[in-house]
Amino acid sequence: MLESVSTSIGLARLPGCIGRPAAIGVVLLTLMAPLGTTAAEGLGETTRPFTLGERLTYEVSWFNLTAVIAVMEVAPAEGNGDTSVTAKLIGTARSTPIITKFFPVDNLVESVLDLDTLTPEHLTFRRREGKKNEDIEYTFHQKEGAVTAVRGGTTESLSIPTGTHDIISCLYYTRAVLPPKPGASLKMNVYHDKKNRPVEVRVEGIETLEGSWGRVETVRTRVIMPFHGLFMNKGDIHVWVTNDERKIPVRMKAKVVLGAIVADLVDGWSGVRSVKPGS
């Protein structure tokens, strides 16, 4: 994810690069988008592979050390009886006990998503990393092409392209519109921290993976980033999603200055109810 939430924990912050895997817990919320105008090549009909009640849990590791537990879920928007209109995307990232001793992480991101356009209306980000406490709030005015940002007691309005995403809605949008066809690509804009960030996601191929989820056929995608800064990433990010109607991200991997960070799905296959397209 950007000058984003991910770079807030740097290699220099902790010995042995412990801070780097902690960063990916939040990065997980934006792994498919650290980066105006939504455009796509070869896209099919937009569907909603995610469901109300979906809850995906990931173990984030670095050199086989589990550093962060990250959870992404889709919940009904509060005070909204008509769940066909909006949903709340919730992402949490909490450090494991061994990491907490050195650098505690307890982050929360909530995004209200328009289920018709699959674009965000409002985002709050509660960052708790070490001694750093920060609350950020964005209100998206998609039709007006603007976002109102509240941070550190300061409020300002900035321009954004229509169809802009936030650091968590981008993942769900990608799941919905990018077809599992090698060569297909998607370009979009993600707004975060006073910047519009372009990203391209490409489908590289079909690959079978094994993990706690068993043996599953996946679509291997590559996130093309035209700049550095994503938790000191070296090169692009790879994301594997199931090659089925749910398109669940089961693994995310990024090379860093030393080694690689991997997020693997450990729970989230059942107990959901569908959000029907066009409802």
pLDDT at residue 112, rounded to an integer: 97
Contact 10, 232 (CB under 8 A): yes
The whole-number pLDDT of residue 46 equals: 53
Residue 20 predicted with pLDDT over 70: no
pLDDT, greater one: 56 or 7: 56
> Does 279 reside within a domain?
no
Which of the listed ranges 31-35, 55-59, 267-271 does the model predict with the highest average pLDDT?
Answer: 55-59
DSSP-derived secondary structure letter, 151: E
pLDDT at 12 over 90: no
Per-chain mean pLDDT for the chain: 77
Domain residue limits at 117: 5-267
- At 112-144, the pLDDT tens digits run 999 999 999 999 999 998 888 999 999 999 999
**What is the reported pTM?**
0.79
Of the chain, the percentage scoring pLDDT greater than 70 comes to 73
In a domain, residue 42? The reply is: yes
Confidence at 14, pLDDT banded by 50, 70, 90? very low
- 66 versus 224: the higher-pLDDT residue is 66
pLDDT at 188 over 50: yes
Is residue 160 a part of any domain in this protein?
Answer: yes
- The answer to whether position 276 is within a domain reads no
- Give mean pLDDT, residues 12-35: 35
First to last CA, the chain: 31
Joined tokens for residue 24: 């990916």
Residue 237 placed within a domain: yes
pLDDT at 192: 83
Residue 277 lies in a domain: no
Question: What DSSP assignment string belongs to 202-239?
Answer: EEEEEEEEEETTEEEEEEEEEEE-SS--STT--S-EEE
Answer whether 122's CB lies under 8 Å from 112's CB: yes
Q: Mind listing the pLDDT tens digit for each residue in 24-45?
A: 433 444 333 322 233 333 334 4
Query: Which among 235, 219, 162 has a CA at the least distance from the CA of 185?
Result: 219
Q: Check whether 270 has a pLDDT greater than 70.
A: no
Report the C-alpha gap between 100 and 14 in whole angstroms. 12
Q: Is residue 12 in some structural domain?
A: yes
Number of domains observed in the structure of the chain: 1
Q: Which residues contact 100 (CB under 8 A, 6 or more apart)?
A: none
93-109 average pLDDT score: 92
**Which pLDDT score, from 0 to 100, does residue 269 have?**
66
Query: What is the C-alpha separation between 214 and 101, in angstroms, rounded?
Result: 33
Cα four-point dihedral sign 10, 13, 17, 22: negative
- What's the rounded Cα separation, in Å, for the pair 240 and 242? 7
Helices (H), the chain: 19-27, 97-100, 169-177
Q: Does 272 reside within a domain?
A: no
Query: Tens digits of per-residue pLDDT, 242-253?
Result: 998 889 999 999
Distant-in-sequence, close-in-space partners of 229: CB < 8 Å, separation ≥ 6: 2, 3, 4, 7, 34
Between 199 and 189, the more confident residue is 189
| pLDDT tens digits for range 199-237 | 899 999 999 998 887 888 999 999 886 544 434 445 678
**Counting beta carbons within 10 angstroms of the beta carbon of residue 104, is it exposed (0 to 12), middle (13 to 18) or buried (19 or more)?**
middle
* Cα–Cα distance for residue pair 130/12, rounded to 1 Å: 14
